[in-house]
Amino acid sequence: MEEGADQRGETMVAKGKLLARRSGVVMAVVAFGGLTVGTTAQDIEDLPAKEIAEKAIDASRTADSFRINAKGVSDVGNYRVEVSIEKQGDCRGTDDTDDRSAQYTKIGDTTYTRGNDAFWRNYATWWNSDDQAEQRVVEIMRDRWLKAPAGADALSLTEWCDVDYWHHGLKTGGLKKAGAAEVDGQSAITLTRERAGVTDRWYVATEGQPYILKYTSSGGDYPFESTVNDYNKPIDVKAPPADDVIELNRLRELF
């Protein structure tokens, strides 16, 4: 994975999104792993570092579901993200950046988003609204969910529900094996890479299936730490109560 330039590039790709447009998050969770076809955790540590990483990346797409937790620093502030994703694209998660906070759910082609006042005020600014319009949005959306077609609104938090999205831009070159480690009680092998003052670390399980258990980056402009777990565990994704939902068209009438 490239250093600062690639991290900033991820931010440019996501330009125009509302919350969660942070290169660090993309880099933090792009490196999760899954079932490694034809390789067990017992012999994964005998392979070269690049091959370990490549097998984990290729196999991760076969997982039925997984959960990502990430925290770090980006060009828009400190962030913390948690998202549970099913292979077919349904998901639920939370997204916090400084004073803005949001929950989101995607079911099929429909998304639901609920945020705090700061989140909705920031949302309103994307429509060049005046102060009165911003306040109306805040008041109508307080404790409510915005319902919208997937990909049809500036929020776009649920773009993260695409499993392939997290593999975008992953680089395996330059990795080296760096000994044994333990992540949440699980034995792992560490892979490291150092470029231009940035140190990336992968932690790959050596017991059971060879999942990537943790990924970190330090020393650059966008340090982060992420963990990936709950592989293949069912995710309880439900639509919010109808009385708590506001349709996108109704909200846009306020601008």
Each residue of 68-89: pLDDT tens digit?
899 999 888 899 999 999 988 8
Question: CA 205 to CA 84: how far, in whole Å?
Answer: 20
Q: Running DSSP on this structure, what letter comes out for residue 35? A: -
- Stretch 54-61: mean pLDDT: 75
Report the candidate in 105, 231, 103 with the shortest Cα–Cα distance to residue 161: 105
The pLDDT of residue 20 is above 60: no
- Domains of the chain and any CATH numbers: 4-252 (2.50.20.20)
The pLDDT of residue 188 is above 50: yes
Max distance between CA atoms of the chain, in angstroms, equals: 63
pLDDT band at 141 (very low <50, low <70, confident <90, very high): very high
- Stretch 129-134: mean pLDDT: 82
Question: CA 5 to CA 13: how far, in whole Å?
Answer: 12
Contact between residue 106 and residue 155 where contact means Cβ atoms under 8 Å apart:
no
